[in-house]
Chain A
Amino acid sequence: DGGITQSPKYLFRKEGQNVTLSCEQNLNHDAMYWYRQDPGQGLRLIYYSQIVNDFQKGDIAEGYSVSREKKESFPLTVTSAQKNPTAFYLCASSKARDSVVTDTQYFGPGTRLTVL
């Protein structure tokens, strides 16, 4: 079964700690994305990557970092510099690197991060 997996489903972090959220896809998609979702708000783009070893900042990249060493993996690190990290984090992927605007994004099940 092809799809996107995110782990863990729930994550608790103490203030001042860095944490890494995993995102893996076996859809052979070139592009991958990280979004943050807060209650009553839409999705906000954190980072995206259209090709291995390259990624771009989204609208709210401060306090986050990513890597794209393999096509199928796009981990997100929430650093201690992120002042309000409690949120639901969604990873997505889409087919083409040079995608036309019709390209559908496929989403993982999400990771809920809570800072204690």
Chain B
Amino acid sequence: NAGVTQTPKFQVLKTGQSMTLQCAQDMNHEYMSWYRQDPGMGLRLIHYSVGAGITDQGEVPNGYNVSRSTTEDFPLRLLSAAPSQTSVYFCASSMYPGQGKNIQYFGAGTRLSVL
């Protein structure tokens, strides 16, 4: 059981380049989300999805796009990379929060540097 899988693990981009961070989960979770983590800080929510075809913005959505065409996959797109997007990105998933719980399971992260 792989859980939440993120690819790539590391990426270096030049300013203005675009790329897609991949996230896949095999737990049949409805809820998926993307966070960024900057040094010495907690995780900040970028975008989230409560099911296939449904996405919404989190705390820091600017510069990022998401889509959810399947339950398993939730890619994060950087449209035109900026140095301010240098960060560690985490994808997470959970059962749909309708039972008073929202235990999110995290991937190992993608470390992105924008030069």
Question: A and B: partners?
Answer: no
Q: Which residues of B contact A (CB under 8 A)?
A: none
Q: Which residues of A contact B (CB under 8 A)?
A: none
